[in-house]
Amino acid sequence: MSHLADETLSGLPAIAGGTPAFAQRLPLVRPSVPDPRVILSDLEDILASRVLTNGPIVRRFEERCAETLGVAHCVAVSSCTAGLMLVLRAAGMEGEVVVPSFTFAATAHAAVWNGLTPVFADIDPHSLTLSAEAAASVLSDRGSAILATHLYGAPCDTDALEQLARARGVRLFFDAAHAFGSIRGGVPVGRFGDAEVFSLSPTKLLVAGEGGLIATNDDELAERCRIGRDYGNPGDYDCRFVGLNARMSEIHAALGLASLASLEARVARRNDLAEQYRDGLRAVPGVSFPRIRDEDRSTYKDFTILIEQDTFGLNTGALARALEAEGIDTRRYYAPPVHATHAYRAWDPGPGRLPVTERAAGRCLTLPMWEGMGDQDPPLVAAAIRRIRSHANAGGAGSPAR
């Protein structure tokens, strides 16, 4: 696609004494912020009105999001974590909730904060999202819900999960933290399952500083979430259930509105950058990508690659250290997987029970991805990875491993 993808770096990798690919560090993320002038008049209105939280700007933000997603209700909340907690509470879930382990911890936290038991299910080896087959195999009579994550912005297999939830009579929710702007088979993420919950924190696509958004077509569930974000108090101080303070402030909603205005352009930009990464890395032995169907769109909240040690010549941790020396920031999303963290010892299904998750956790490496990155950055990162590989043990000096 781009001539820049042909860029090569001469000399040794930085970790072996060569010149770093990036003289100035390339950060993993850099949140997009609006021009202050865009929110200034909202800010003046908010301060003049003295309505500081859950007021008219929040209502406007909810309406715009609902229009954008084509969903009946959007309920703005203080975070995605709080939104997930509320949805499970508002839907009256009991017993067990099936969750992936290859996700951010907050997915499972929402279940545990409700006194529910998280039951971890394995992922699909190609998409790395929750496998409906694996979910079916761990869903017991005590299960009341499935909570799946649209990973890195790549939509889950919503059809298979909806079919499973219907067949087994359980509710289906999505942790859509990464996925405002994702599309599954022509349908925007936000319309699937019983509810989907977005994050509006700075590293996500739609940014309000802090915040979350519950999207649902279920009138009753939406109403209970609205009451639930206000302690469970519908206004008469006779709390209907034990809710939270999960309100969104007016200032956050103003930021969210500004972010929504530029969302499409930013998703498009990230898809271009992802394509450049793939162009530069496609032919590198030992590097692969999670699969995204042609008919779907990811937001690329993260751009994650998978490293096969035998063919690449280095393991993932060693590559991360070599990239660090090149001035390239990376993360291991998601290692350790949730079930292997200290907090989840009590719910760890035990060794070998989540083989695909464990394999992905051992191989995943997330590369820098943000809209303001330069066109030259992905090709240069790819060139740095190729240079590191060509000097790795398996390949010898510059020769391919096979």
Ligand X SMILES: *Cc1c(COP(=O)(O)O)cnc(C)c1O
Q: Which residues bind ligand X (CB under 6 A)?
A: 79-81, 103-104, 106-107, 149, 175, 177-178, 199, 201, 212
Give the nearest distance from C-beta 201 to ligand X in angstroms.
4
Give the nearest distance from C-beta 44 to ligand X in angstroms.
27
Q: Are 305 and 367 a contacting pair, CB within 8 Å? A: yes
Give the nearest distance from C-beta 256 to ligand X in angstroms.
12
CA dihedral 66, 67, 70, 74 (to 10 degrees): 0
Q: Which of 95, 150, 146 is nearest to 296 (CA)?
A: 150
Calculate helix-pair angle for 56-69, 36-49, nearest 10 degrees. 130
Task: Give whichever of 199 and 366 is closer to ligand X, judged by the CB atom.
Answer: 199
What are the tokens at 42? 């909202």
Task: Give whichever of 80 and 88 is closer to ligand X, judged by the CB atom.
Answer: 80
Give the nearest distance from C-beta 108 to ligand X in angstroms.
9
Task: Give whichever of 46 and 246 is closer to ligand X, judged by the CB atom.
Answer: 246
Task: Give whichever of 81 and 182 is closer to ligand X, judged by the CB atom.
Answer: 81
Task: Give whichever of 106 and 145 is closer to ligand X, judged by the CB atom.
Answer: 106
Task: Give whichever of 326 and 371 is closer to ligand X, judged by the CB atom.
Answer: 371
Calculate helix-pair angle for 56-69, 250-261, nearest 10 degrees. 30
Give the distance, in angstroms, between the CA of residue 20 and the centroid of all CA atoms in the same chain.
30
Q: Which of 159, 157, 168, 94 is nearest to 131 (CA)?
A: 157
Give the nearest distance from C-beta 67 to ligand X in angstroms.
22
Give the nearest distance from C-beta 135 to ligand X in angstroms.
17
Residue with tokens 């330069």: 374
Task: Give whichever of 22 and 113 is closer to ligand X, judged by the CB atom.
Answer: 113
Give the nearest distance from C-beta 103 to ligand X in angstroms.
5
Cα–Cα distance for residue pair 93/87, rounded to 1 Å:
9
Cα–Cα distance for residue pair 204/182, rounded to 1 Å:
12
Q: Are 22 and 329 a contacting pair, CB within 8 Å? A: no
Question: From the CB of residue 402, how many other CB atoms can be counted at a distance below 10 Å?
Answer: 9
Cα–Cα distance for residue pair 201/170, rounded to 1 Å:
29
